[in-house]
Amino acid sequence: MGWVRRLVPVLLLLVGHAALAQDRVLNVYNWTDYIDPKVLERFTSETGIKVRYDVYDSLETLEGKLLAGNSGYDIVVPTAEPTFSRLIAAKALLPLDRSKIPHWSNLDPKLMQRVEVSDPGNRNGAIYLWGTIGLGMIPERIQALDPGAPLDSWDLLLKPEHAKKLADCGISVMDSAIDTIPSVLKYLGRNPESTDAKDLADVERTLMTIRPYIRTFASGGAVEALAGGQTCLSMTYSGDVIQAAARAKEAGQKTVRYVAPKEFAALTFDMLAVPADAPHPAEAMQFINFLLQPDVMAAITNQVRYPNAIPASRDAITPEVRDDPNVYPDTASPRFFTVRATPQAADRLRTRMWARFKAGH
Amino acid sequence: MRRGWFLNVCLLLGYAFLYVPVLLLVATSFNPNRLTTVLSGFSLRWYAALWADDKLIEAALLSLRIAAVSATGATVLGTIAGFALARFGRFPGRGAFAALLSARLVLPDVLVGLSLLLLFVQMEQTIGWPQGRGALTITLAHVSVSLSYVAIVIEARLTDAGSELEDAAMDLGASPLAAFGLVTLPLLAPALLSGWLLAFTLSLDDLVVATFVSGPGASTLPMVVFSALRLGVTPELNALATVILALVSVSLGGAWFLQQRAGRAVVPGQAGA
């Protein structure tokens, strides 16, 4: 039976697929480009725990995996609103065991308090990295088209007389209703969590006045476009702009800058959390404890350029990240705000409005 | 036959449409700049970066392994299905079987991925297998996706070839199994190869189904590439694409060469007979 013998390697390959590692492992599911790889190596060499590290590029992917159940992941990094609070409501997260996380005390209590709107008592998550939502720009090109434009103000984007002049060099807005609408509500002097239909209509009217001048709605690629000079003004996450700035510098392009506008800016938090059905919860607590050390967090911030929530890490952060108040803002300032995700019925209204805005009519 | 200038231009434009993007991709892989869109000289920097990028290499190897195993599985099962449809005459329910097989071709990937995910989760809860999700579940899903394609290729080839040779073999005393092994399979060889290649390509290409049914530590190449898009692509991906392109061209060229040689060997034999 020669063909049986020939089939054996194929069968072995199939079985090899299913073979499970016997040593201690930890399955991490994080945003793409969101860690310093050396940190993972250090964790493995200190603890002997092997890390299997996968990445996602959208919260939808993460939610889909977790809500189907038995995802197999031990650590996930959902953004506080909307995903983290939704996962808490769905009881998809395991409350953290703080007795296993002695480095918890390193966390900035003021920042952790900000997250309590999503997670009362901070039971389900620790802040991994955070940032603000503001404006990424190429000041030189903006000033050339619109001399005297207010670079530090939301007016630059939301007033049509400025947006109109910048249409030629390219404006992009993040394709995310949940990140954009609260800032516009606040700009109009309303409650950023408002679910009132009239407030929403005003937001739509404001957005429609600048709609003709928007070149793209970027969910990915905003960094690339800004760094390469295909856009000159981009409403997006702070850390993405800082990475664009580094790339532009490396490529010899015009200077890219991030501004958290002087009026206000929304804070976003990415949380370290453990799925309720995580196969290795003990290793997960150990990993969170490891990450909350000042030198580890400094290394991560230096690599991905998002601020962390460990004040003791400040000294080890490179000056260009640490000393730029736009990158590392003083969160005590009242101009930074956080919002809760809206209830589902209101969400539907927002989604429809957003679709109309994107379509332009 | 002389072609007019118009047809020549059409020909040129058609092929340019197909290959200019590919050539551009290859060209920019030698661009030292971090930004794919800014050209500035020639370097092998991104090939070095690719060589050092374990994550990407690992994902590429995993994808190739899954593609090879699932293509083999789909070819075996698809050949059986295609053979049944082409050779078992008008058995009751044949129309329904054929329709059910080709209906899978038009099911959107999102549906297939989601339903397989639910199936795997249910199976794990009730019978404890497959334990967790990973390369095994992706392979099974890819077999399920590409099986129908292979069956259709095989059925078409068998219908074309007719059953006379097999009938003759059996008249001369071959058992049905021997007729299948000695006559049908060699006759099918080109269809088997193209079915296998089709299944291999489908598996290598697939992003949607794999995203649903993958698990920790099993990210295929399309998954890694796609998730890297958030912060824009680096020319490292162009370098990887160039390497894959080179491998594909070499293996296709090799296959063509072997076929040519086999063809030459057969022709004189036939002439002599």
pLDDT tens column, A59-78: 888 888 888 888 899 999 99
- ipTM of the complex in this document: 0.74
Domain boundaries, given as residue ranges, for chain B? 5-252
* Count of CB pairs separated by less than 8 Å, A with B: 104
What phi and psi values does residue A277 have, to the nearest 5 degrees? -105, 30
CATH of domain B5-252: 1.10.3720.10
Tell me which residue in B38, B72, B118 faces A251 most closely, judged by beta carbons.
Answer: B38
Are B231 and A227 within 8 A, CB to CB?
Answer: no
* Residue A306: closest CA among A231, A259, A238: A238
CA torsion, ordered A327, A331, A335, A337, to nearest 10 deg? 100
Find chain B residues with C-beta within 8 A of A70's C-beta.
121, 124-125, 132-133
- For chain B positions 110-129, those within 8 Å of chain A (CB to CB) are 117-118, 121, 124-125
Q: Give A296-354 as a DSSP string.
A: HHHHHHHHH---BS-GGGGGGS-HHHHT-TTTS--TTSTTEE--PPPPHHHHHHHHHHH
Instruction: Give the pair of three-digit tokens for residue B113.
Output: 């991925």
Domain with CATH 3.40.190.10 in chain A: 22-130+268-328, 132-266+339-359
Find chain B residues with C-beta within 8 A of A32's C-beta.
227-228, 230-231
Confidence of residue B202 (pLDDT cuts 50, 70, 90): very high
Rounded distance between C-alpha atoms, residue A175 and residue A177, angstroms: 7
Tell me which residue in B40, B216, B232 faces A27 most closely, judged by beta carbons.
Answer: B216
pLDDT digits over A258-305, tens only? 999 999 999 999 999 999 999 999 999 999 999 999 999 999 999 888
What integer pLDDT is reported at residue A239 of this predicted model?
83
Q: Closest residue of B to A243, CA-based?
A: B231
Residue type, A334: P
Rounded distance between C-alpha atoms, residue A131 and residue A336, angstroms: 10
Most confident of A29-33, A94-98, A316-320, B210-214: A94-98
User: CB-based contact (8 Å) between B52 and chain A?
Assistant: no
What integer pLDDT is reported at residue A18 of this predicted model?
43
Tell me which residue in A18, A27, A251 faces B34 most closely, judged by beta carbons.
Answer: A251
Contact B107, B116 (CB under 8 A): no
What phi and psi values does residue A269 have, to the nearest 5 degrees? -125, 135
In degrees, rounded to 5, the angle at the alpha carbon of residue B268 between the alpha carbons of residues B266 and B272 is: 115
Confidence of residue B232 (pLDDT cuts 50, 70, 90): low
Optimal mutation site among B34, B231, B236, interface A, most CBs of chain A within 10 A: B231
Q: Closest residue of A to B72, CA-based?
A: A10
Please, which residues have CB within 8 angstroms of residue B265's CB and are 6 or more apart in sequence? none
> Any long-range contacts for A343-346 (C-beta under 8 Å, 24+ apart)?
A343/A195, A345/A195, A346/A195
Optimal mutation site among A54, A56, A76, interface B, most CBs of chain B within 10 A: A54
CA torsion, ordered A153, A159, A162, A163, to nearest 10 deg? 110
What integer pLDDT is reported at residue A124 of this predicted model?
96
Find chain B residues with C-beta within 8 A of A247's C-beta.
34-35, 232
What's chain A's average pLDDT? 88
Confidence of residue B263 (pLDDT cuts 50, 70, 90): low
Fold of A22-130+268-328: D-Maltodextrin-Binding Protein; domain 2 (3.40.190)
Rounded distance between C-alpha atoms, residue A191 and residue A147, angstroms: 33
In degrees, rounded to 5, the angle at the alpha carbon of residue A163 between the alpha carbons of residues A234 and A265 is: 50
Start-end of H helices in chain B: 5-28, 45-52, 54-87, 94-106, 109-127, 135-161, 164-171, 176-179, 185-205, 208-213, 221-227, 235-272
What integer pLDDT is reported at residue B1 of this predicted model?
58
Q: Is A173 helix (H, G, I), strand (E, B) or coil?
A: strand
What integer pLDDT is reported at residue B262 of this predicted model?
66
What integer pLDDT is reported at residue A17 of this predicted model?
43
Start-end of H helices in chain A: 2-18, 37-47, 59-68, 85-89, 109-115, 139-145, 155-158, 160-166, 177-187, 197-210, 222-228, 238-250, 281-291, 294-304, 319-322, 344-359
User: CB-based contact (8 Å) between B34 and chain A?
Assistant: yes
- CATH class for domain A132-266+339-359? alpha beta
Q: What percent of chain B has pLDDT over 70?
A: 92
